[in-house]
Chains A and B, each alone.
Chain A
Amino acid sequence: MIGKGIPRGFIITLKNFFRSPVTVQYPDRKVSLFEYAKIHNKNIFKLFFSQPMLSIKISLGLISVPSSVEQSQRFRGNEFTFFEERCTACASCAKYCPLGIIEIVSVPGGFDAQEGESYKLDVFDIDIGRCMFCGLCVEACPYDALHMGTKFEKSTYVRDDLIITKEKLAESEKSPSSFYRPQFEKKKFDPFKDNIKDHYKAGRHEKPEYKELKKKWVDDR
């Protein structure tokens, strides 16, 4: 019947009018007085009587608080987590990178009677200005030294600052994402609240058992 479809469409748009919005205010969002008191852990009445001007400003919508975007645990962000103690300078990450933006220079690191010769990192640069965050370097790392980060708010004014060096990686906050690292998901590690400073706590994603190793390298040979 002609003329029926258009009002039906209008009813649906009217229904959607009263839905809660799906958009997120970023980087700041406006808050109500009640929410503001909850964020700052204050009693709403105390806040109103101690700071009346602020309370009026909040109720008028002039004050905003920083908001966060909801992310999943496997988010591939640009603040890499790197444990230098674990790195053997094997350059698997540099070989596996599709763009070739990881630069590694290694030097002989010393001799241990049990483990033999080892190598030490001299230069470890990731040019994240050209990085596409595919995560293949993390997938290639055999010792779980490199992890993707969950943070993404790392903008700079100069392009050269986007090259993250070994020192910058050591200083940065270590909140690794669980991309290709199932051990974090098993341990229920939450990168948005907690961080890992010690590499002993990070765990390994695939540690072959002694039996498997013996079968592969001794029995089958």
Chain B
Amino acid sequence: MPLETKPVTVNLGPQHPSTHGVFRMRVTFDGEEIVDVEPVFGYLHRGSEKLAEERTYSQIVTLTDRMDYVSSMLNNQAYTLAVEKLCDIVPSPRGVWLRMIASELQRIASHFVATGFLLQDLGALGTPLIYCMRERENILDLFEMLCGARITNSYLRPGGVFMDAPDVFWPALDRSLGDIEKSIDEIEEYLSGNEIIFSRTKGTAVLSSESLVNASITGPMLRASGVDWDLRHRNPYDFYSEVTFKRILHTASDNYARYWVRVQEMRESLKIISQCIKNIEPGPVRPSFDDVPRLVRPEPGDSYAAIEGSKGELGFYLVSDGGISPYRMHVRAPSLINLTLLREMLVGELFGDLFVIFGSVDLNMGEVDR
């Protein structure tokens, strides 16, 4: 005689230690199987978009650091591009090369964090996470040399960066590029061929490329399903049209594919950085204050600039009414939009895979709630 079972609803979060920040879900289980998921957002809402309406254009750079706090440089870059579009600022070439180096370094750091936490969720407690964090520390040290801060950088300004890189930066960058390449090899050697990781991640949370495109999901999640969509290639901003890199694609569209795409993308970022070092030319790092004053007053109008962030398309939409601060700022946050298919991914999977799927999405609650 079969046992009679009833679905049970469990509240996960907002303080559950493995839910990637303050994310809350109401999950209904039937035994081990997930039947229904209801996400609840907003526990980290700080009103960044509203706060931007009462700050000047140069002051908002500090707010963008705190949105996605593991990829602040990329947020800075997207925002400065939007301001440059709005005010018709011509950036200084050296400043642009420097911010490309900084944002590619930040992409590597962000992917290291994503990889480490994915493995933490798999149950590899501690070791792989600490290895990844150790390598990220190198990059944070480089940021400290560049701008004096490790996480809340505020390095970029409309028109370039605020200060040229110090002399100690370039040898340190060369050294860390080699170190990072070695550590990526190490990660691949002990993780990419590991049977436990194969059995836990292959074939879980498979999404079709059609549904991913329909839900406007971007970034490594989309590229893991075989859709060749990278804004650095499709719509080159800054000097990305002058560097060459390979677009990483995988067709499986499962958790393993997402992990694999991220690891391979780190190698491509290293290649881009070494090309930037070759191409960088001496000169000023930002336009003079006569051309771009600290207090810019753009003409009434709007602008949208998007970059390929570490999690997907990161866009800033600015509306100006002619004043010193924007009339409205909107952020297209990839973390939030990548959660659109959360229900489709989770329903039908087992409880043990729930947090693994979470780790493979690579969400950041600071960006989801803003």
Contact = CB atoms under 8 A, between A and B. Distances in A.
A185 B148 contact: no
Say which size band chain A's interface belongs to: 20 to 34
A4 B131 CA distance: 21
A22 B134 contact: yes
A6 B196 contact: yes
B144 A139 contact: no
Contact of A72 (B63, B144, B162): B144
Nearest to A96: B294
Interface stretch (A28-36, A57-65, A73-81, A159-167): A73-81
A76 B148 contact: yes
Contacts of A76: 148-149
A96 B144 CA distance: 23
Question: Could you say which of A5, A135, A177, A180 has the most chain B C-beta atoms within 10 Å of its C-beta?
Answer: A5
B148 A136 contact: no
A67 B201 CA distance: 43
B147 interface: yes
Contact of B62 (A12, A75, A98): A98
B62 A136 contact: yes
Interface in B119-151: 127, 131, 134, 137, 141, 144-149
A2 B148 contact: no
Nearest to B289: A206
Contact of A4 (B186, B191, B193): B193
A2 B196 CA distance: 10
Interface string B148-164: 11001010000000111
Given A5-B195, A22-B137, A185-B167, A132 B131 contact: no
A72 B145 contact: yes
Nearest to A11: B190
Interface in B23-59: 55, 58-59
B172 to A, nearest CB: 10
A9 interface: yes
A16 interface: yes
A61 B369 CA distance: 47
B214 interface: no
A102 to B, nearest CB: 13
B171 interface: no
A12 B190 contact: yes
B152 A9 contact: no
Nearest to A9: B190
Contacts of B194: 5-6, 9
A104 interface: no
A4 B63 CA distance: 48
A22 B62 CA distance: 30
A119 interface: no
A5 B190 CA distance: 7
B352 to A, nearest CB: 19
Nearest to B60: A98
Contact of B152 (A8, A96, A134): A134
A211 B34 CA distance: 75
A172 B169 CA distance: 30
A22 B152 CA distance: 23
Given A72-B144, A72-B145, A182-B164, 7 more contacts: A74-B146, A96-B58, A96-B59, A98-B59, A133-B152, A136-B58, A140-B294
Interface of A: 2-6, 8-9, 12-13, 16, 22, 71-76, 96, 98, 132-136, 139-140, 148, 177-180, 182, 185
28 contacts: A5-B190, A5-B193, A5-B196, A8-B189, A9-B190, A13-B190, A22-B134, A72-B144, A72-B166, A73-B166, A74-B148, A74-B166, A75-B144, A96-B59, A98-B55, A98-B59, A98-B62, A98-B63, A132-B152, A133-B149, A133-B152, A134-B62, A134-B152, A136-B59, A140-B294, A179-B163, A180-B163, A182-B164
